[in-house]
A and B are shown apart, each in its own frame.
Chain A
């Protein structure tokens, strides 16, 4: 008898828990329903027209300053637009890769649950614009409205404004991004007698690394661009050597050209000299933060982590711009993301546009830059008596990042729906060439052919 009572209790508990938990959670995401896709100019929302939209942002997947800042901005927007309700949500994904943010939206679209506004990375721009159904913003709201949004008292950097364009149409409004900068442990360098390191060129970097290696006996250098996940900044290194990733018409893969191979060969040379540590991307930034790597080429977005590491380790953190190949101009690329309208409902599109304008406004960048640390795309805010001038002055580590904004080259998205596989092929070829003894020229050219076969 007791066992039957217990079993009955277990069964009742299970059923009750199911029912209860189903009630407690409740469905939350709004669905995009309504009119079929249209490229007509979207209507202006009436003052009493209530609209709810969802905003999917990978920043909301990270607790702390990221979530708090974005949620704070959403609240500010809602208070300014009482007729628009915005529900922020993190991507439905376990991984942190760029492609997983896009696949999250794909999955939600499949379930009829796509977000109305999505923060997606630039590497998928071709796919997002041509296959995923992102709405052409400049056609929805008009080109002038887009330019007006970019302008204002503190206009967005001219290089940045074009990053979300595809074939002359604006699909994404650039939102947050960083550039690859060279971080170094100034204390360790000083201990090795290097007080004024010359990092202006890769040759200069090589000499500094050689000196450190001679003093410490270990490889001092880590370059996150050379491993999986570093596609975006490896593109910058290649472009800095005159190489090309994709043809101007986005039809041909070109990372097997001489400039690309030359850039990879330079990295290979550093590895052959024992100056490079062969680690995955996360191990690299953890190694630098803990003082196990003394120089690192890495995204500027990790500044706060490196500052914490430097404080813990009692060493001085410094940074500078990406090194050049001799006299060839440096071509830093951007990481990061733009805001896309995914909704096909005109009312939601109108609300989404209002929201995007707010999230890329000076008000938003003031919060985003000071609280999260992202590069202010409206860089004029850091000049004169701009609202971020004092912040920029008190944070000298942001200077190289802002300086590189003026020379920015786009993070190329590979053409077609196989963009992610092409990125994998590229990164593997780079890794094989630098760390695993493969010949850079034949490996990069073979990878180019393999990638070209995937272009559809």
Chain B
């Protein structure tokens, strides 16, 4: 009987040792495989990211490269601009009031973004926190206005702006863009996911709706507000068609109109176009540089849904 257990023990020991070894091998294989499994996608992922980054950065590089070429070399295909020249920037400086244009565009984009953000916050609060008859229908109208192409409303807006005497003014660009259905929808989504318990607690503490919005909801939505604000600012900054329609005089126009003025039926001045475009990008670059943390927070931590 004694041997049996020994035998029983021995065999299992051998079996166990074998199993352990095989398990080790298996683990090793799994580890190796998993390492391979991890490494291969990581490499591929990095390659994809590098390609995407290159595809994103290269046009910007090419814009500045063309801007710094000598004007007669503007259409040259060499990767590195040489000899370097500031002539295109000088042309821009001399032919259009670029500084005042950038300043006007900044005022316009800031005003549009601020107005859209304020209206979005107020409208979203109403849509997400209150119950009232026709709420869903009203919200659908908001969303519906987002789906109407700008070209459809362009002429009626132009006539209205003309009647208001705002043609050729920055206010003429701002007024029709004072509300963004996209911003309202986005803020509503954020506010709907806001914990109701906090709202109820604030109510119990005696806060009214303004107090809840300003002291409870908004402080907790700063990343999302920052991200949305920057998105709205950039969208306003990049708006082209409406400013081009509103401004017919360069003296007080936006930078979009200034860039366009180097394009024409009699030929395009690519060096000046790229120099003006490069200058127009600088404020956005600076904003991104200083607000990078908020932007990343807004998109990653809070998330734009």
Contact = CB atoms under 8 A, between A and B. Distances in A.
The answer to whether A and B belong to the same complex is yes
Interface of A: 1, 3-4, 7, 10-11, 13-14, 17-22, 24-29, 56, 58, 61-64, 66-68, 89-94, 96, 107-108, 110-113, 282, 285-286, 289-290, 301-302, 304-305, 308-309, 311-312, 372-373
Contacts of A24: 169-170, 252
Interface string B243-270: 0111011101000001011111111110
A94 B169 contact: no
A25 B264 contact: no
B168 A62 contact: no
A67 B167 contact: no
Given A10-B117, A63-B95, A89-B249, A22 B169 contact: yes
Contact of B248 (A10, A14, A90, A289): A90
Nearest to B114: A14
B114 A21 contact: no
Given A18-B174, A61-B261, A111-B163, A26 B169 contact: yes
A58 B272 contact: no
Nearest to B155: A107
Interface string B45-78: 0000000000000000000000000111111110
Contacts of A67: 95, 250, 261
Interface in B162-192: 162-163, 165-172, 174-175
Contacts of B175: 18
B114 A92 contact: no
B282 interface: no
A321 B18 CA distance: 93
A56 B249 CA distance: 10
B215 A27 contact: no
- Secondary structure at the A interface, as helix, strand, loop or mixed, is helix
Given A11-B114, A21-B174, A92-B246, A110 B75 contact: no
A56 to B, nearest CB: 8
B111 A14 contact: yes
B267 A21 contact: no
B218 interface: yes
27 contacts: A4-B214, A13-B111, A18-B175, A21-B174, A22-B166, A22-B169, A25-B169, A25-B252, A27-B168, A28-B167, A28-B249, A58-B265, A63-B258, A66-B266, A90-B250, A91-B248, A92-B246, A92-B248, A96-B263, A111-B162, A290-B75, A304-B266, A305-B266, A308-B71, A309-B75, A312-B72, A312-B76
10 tightest A-B CB contacts, nearest first: A25-B169, A305-B267, A21-B170, A22-B171, A111-B162, A62-B264, A63-B261, A14-B114, A17-B111, A312-B72
A286 B165 CA distance: 41
Nearest to A17: B111
A14 B118 contact: yes
Nearest to A111: B162
B166 A17 contact: no
B272 to A, nearest CB: 7
B128 interface: no
B107 interface: yes
Given A17-B114, A62-B264, A64-B262, 16 more contacts: A13-B111, A14-B114, A17-B107, A22-B170, A25-B166, A28-B168, A63-B95, A63-B258, A63-B262, A66-B266, A90-B261, A92-B244, A96-B265, A112-B163, A113-B162, A305-B268
A275 B115 CA distance: 56
A25 B240 CA distance: 18
Nearest to B175: A18
A282 B75 CA distance: 13
B91 A312 contact: no
Contacts of B165: 27
Given A66-B266, A89-B249, A94 B74 contact: no
Contacts of B111: 13-14, 17-18, 21
Contacts of A286: 75, 268
Nearest to B171: A22
Contacts of A1: 215
Contacts of B245: 92-94, 107
B158 A107 contact: yes
A94 B261 contact: no
